[in-house]
């Protein structure tokens, strides 16, 4: 019955001819549920989904005993180009993405210079051509200087919309007052993504810095109140102005309560990262020091437990990696306030899907919900055309993975330019056996197998 519903009203592909690829005997993550079956691919799209396809293919993939799911969509990565390409770039970051089963990324605007104008967006799109291994979009950053242009900027091809930093970031990317936030929300129509920490609170807390405490004080200086005050303000303004907002990397128990209540009345979505689910202070700082320093911080077990409960309850809409790499030499600087100290951020795009499947294996979330948070839900929220589902006529962005087999991840297997991972030595689902982007195999068993062929995403947000 699942297949009958999936194919109802769809003209089945004529498999008397030879198609390009057939994926056989996999556990298919269809919109209607998990079922065994085959998928045929012709060109860049899915041609047929059936319990058993009798036709022939130029290439066949035996997915017996494996999960077949849409390629993952990571809507928060920092690939550091332009300006900080010694840490990462569009080529290396996207190579890591596809090795881990991420076939679409949204890249953040806090580069140097920041992506705040049409010319800078065009420059990023040009730099991505022939170099990015996955499909992509580039956020436009809101700043006091470009607020009146945001309505035009958010409609440009190649961007999923506007990113707001309510806590300090690169250059002028700071919307730290309620009047500025109101102006931004009034000027835009699409769902915007928001880093929610209150800048005034962060500045106030800097006077409490104690060098002797090191990274243990990071969640104390960037305390829960900084996030809660910001998120409360954002929710209230979005409700008053009837705007859709997406809150990134939720880190506090109080925010979960605020968001759960707000979702009853307004169009609000939110993200959780694997690191906020998996790590807890103070142990993670004692074990991994500044390697797990990020903004907003990884907090104590009380907040971790609330996040895990929110995950199981279905509060979070999507998983995001917040992939934000720095060189190991930079991360090993002493923890301090300002540019002389260890920078916040860690790599994570390659381990996003394996960690999300690990959470499903441990019963922290259902497998179906985990897959939806990686695929269909981000596609829906940001209006990405033809992605996020295993459907006839959709892009053949497909991951084949033994989701139940856990293996130790070693940073030597990471494709990051920075050369390290906070998840080094941690068990997670193994790297996908096959990753396809628009009908072409681009990675196999954690290795990239094809030249870069990523394209800008298309949207249907209006």
Provide mean pLDDT across the span 4-31. Answer: 70
User: Measured in Å, how far apart are the chain's first and last C-alpha atoms?
Assistant: 34
Model pLDDT for residues 247-299, shown as the tens digit of each residue: 999 999 999 999 999 999 999 999 999 999 999 999 999 999 999 999 999 99
Q: CATH number of the domain at 2-69+389-402+430-448, please? A: 2.30.40.10
**Which two structure tokens, joined as six digits, stand for 207?**
């006077």
Burial class for 425, CB neighbours closer than 10 Å (0-12, 13-18, 19+): exposed
Model pLDDT for residues 184-195, shown as the tens digit of each residue: 999 999 999 999
pLDDT of residue 3: 47
d(CA 87, CA 417): 6
Kindly report the average pLDDT of the chain as a whole number.
Answer: 95
Model pLDDT for residues 132-141, shown as the tens digit of each residue: 999 999 999 9
- pLDDT of residue 7 exceeding 60, the answer is no
Provide mean pLDDT across the span 97-126. Answer: 98
DSSP string across 176-245: -SHHHHHHHHHH--S-EEEE---HHHHHHHGGG--GGGGGGGHHHHT-HHHHHHHHHHHHHHHHHHT--E
Phi-psi bin for 23: left (phi > 0), alpha (psi -120 to 50), beta?
A: beta
The domain ranges of the chain are: 2-69+389-402+430-448, 71-381
Count CB atoms within 10 A of the CB of residue 362.
Answer: 10
Domain over 71-381 is classified CATH 3.30.420.40: no
Report the length, in residues, of the chain. Answer: 462
d(CA 415, CA 404): 23
Q: β-strand 398-401 against 67-70: which pairing, if any?
A: antiparallel
| Helix orientation angle between 253-262 and 301-313, rounded to the nearest 10 degrees | 30
Segment among 10-19, 227-236, 257-266, 400-409 with least mean pLDDT = 10-19
- pLDDT of residue 357 exceeding 90, the answer is yes
Burial class for 421, CB neighbours closer than 10 Å (0-12, 13-18, 19+): buried
d(CA 104, CA 99): 12
Report the SS3 class of residue 339. coil
């Amino acid at each position: 019955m699942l297949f009958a519903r999936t194919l109802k009203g769809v003209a089945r592909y004529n498999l008397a001819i030879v198609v390009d690829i057939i994926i056989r005997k996999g556990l298919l993550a269809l919109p209607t549920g998990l079922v065994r079956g085959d998928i045929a691919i012709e060109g860049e799209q899915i041609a047929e989904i059936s319990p058993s396809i009798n036709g022939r293919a130029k290439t066949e993939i035996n997915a017996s005993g494996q999960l077949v799911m849409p390629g993952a969509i990571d809507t928060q990565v920092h690939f550091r180009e332009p300006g900080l390409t010694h840490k990462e770039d569009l080529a290396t970051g996207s190579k890591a993405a596809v090795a881990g089963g991420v076939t679409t990324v949204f890249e953040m605007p806090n580069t140097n210079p920041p992506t705040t104008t049409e010319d800078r967006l065009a420059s990023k799109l040009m730099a991505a051509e022939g170099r990015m291994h996955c499909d992509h979009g580039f956020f436009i950053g809101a700043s006091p200087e470009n607020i009146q242009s945001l309505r035009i900027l958010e409609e440009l091809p190649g961007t999923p919309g506007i990113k707001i930093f309510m806590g300090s970031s690169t250059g002028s990317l700071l919307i730290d007052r309620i009047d500025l936030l109101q102006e931004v929300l009034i000027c835009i129509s699409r769902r915007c993504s928001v880093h929610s920490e209150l800048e005034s609170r962060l500045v106030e807390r800097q006077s409490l810095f104690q060098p002797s405490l090191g990274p243990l004080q990071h969640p104390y200086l960037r305390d829960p109140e900084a996030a809660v005050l910001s998120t409360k303000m954002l929710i209230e303004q979005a409700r008053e102005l009837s705007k859709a907002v997406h809150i990134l990397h939720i880190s506090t128990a109080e925010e979960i309560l605020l968001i759960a209540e707000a979702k009853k009345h307004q169009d609000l979505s939110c993200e959780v990262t694997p690191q906020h689910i998996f790590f807890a202070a103070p142990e993670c700082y004692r074990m991994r020091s500044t390697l797990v320093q990020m903004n907003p911080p990884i907090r104590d077990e009380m907040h971790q437990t609330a996040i895990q409960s929110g995950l199981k309850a279905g509060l979070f809409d999507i998983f995001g990696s917040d992939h934000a790499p720095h060189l190991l030499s930079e991360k090993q600087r002493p923890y301090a306030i300002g540019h002389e100290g260890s920078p916040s951020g860690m790599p994570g795009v390659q381990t996003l899907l394996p960690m999300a499947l690990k959470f499903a294996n441990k019963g922290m979330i259902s497998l179906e919900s985990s897959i939806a948070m990686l695929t269909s839900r981000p596609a829906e929220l940001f209006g990405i055309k033809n992605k996020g589902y295993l459907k006839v006529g959709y892009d053949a962005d497909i991951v084949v993975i033994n989701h139940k087999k856990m293996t130790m991840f070693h940073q030597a297997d990471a494709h990051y330019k920075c050369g390290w991972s906070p998840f080094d030595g941690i068990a997670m689902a193994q790297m996908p056996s096959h990753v396809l982007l628009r009908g072409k195999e681009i990675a196999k068993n954690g290795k990239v197998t094809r030249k870069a062929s990523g394209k800008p995403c298309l949207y249907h947000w209006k």
